[in-house]
Amino acid sequence: RLDKETSGCLVVAKNDETHVALSAQFAGRQVVKIYNAIVCGELARESGEIRAAIARHPSHRKRMAARDDDSGRAAHTSYRVLERLNAATFVEAQIHTGRTHQIRVHFQFLGYPLVGDETYGARQNRKFTELTGYEPPRVMLHARELSFIHPRTEEQMNFEAPLPKDFREALKLLR
């Protein structure tokens, strides 16, 4: 599943048998999920691993939160910087687990919320807009690649979605 404002690849099962088989691949962490995102600020490192459990936020029940204790479910995201922008960073992120809002929560945990993410980075996004003059139309998150084994043919399936127009425009304005 993708968050409401996230663009890009997703897979839909046409019958129950396929749904069960695909669900097993997701649960077994066999599906490759690669995203592009624009985060507020300049990431200090060129690449990294984020391993922080995710659980419901203790006081904001519609939000999730990264935990440095064992109270949440294990979550793992790796990332690499693709381009440094004006007051932002364009990144590639691969999620190795599939927690709710995982990329959004993990980058907020690092102190670099996604551009346009009012839920997990309202203060940083206000500062970002003041610095750049850019007001994003949505959360700048795009599901770029999705790879899995076809449940019936057992063929490796690889899908890629190009960046949508609003995302390309954001990059152009922030360069």
Of 3, 69, 70, 117, which one is the catalytic site residue?
A: 3
User: Do the beta carbons of residue 17 and residue 151 sit within 8 Å?
Assistant: yes
Cα(154)–Cα(72) distance, integer angstroms: 34
The conformation of residue 151, written as its DSSP 8-state character, comes to T
Based on the residue annotation, tell me whether 166 is a catalytic residue of this protein: no
Cα(109)–Cα(57) distance, integer angstroms: 12
43 is written with which tokens? 């990431």
In three-state secondary structure terms, 66 is: strand
* Catalytically annotated residues: 3
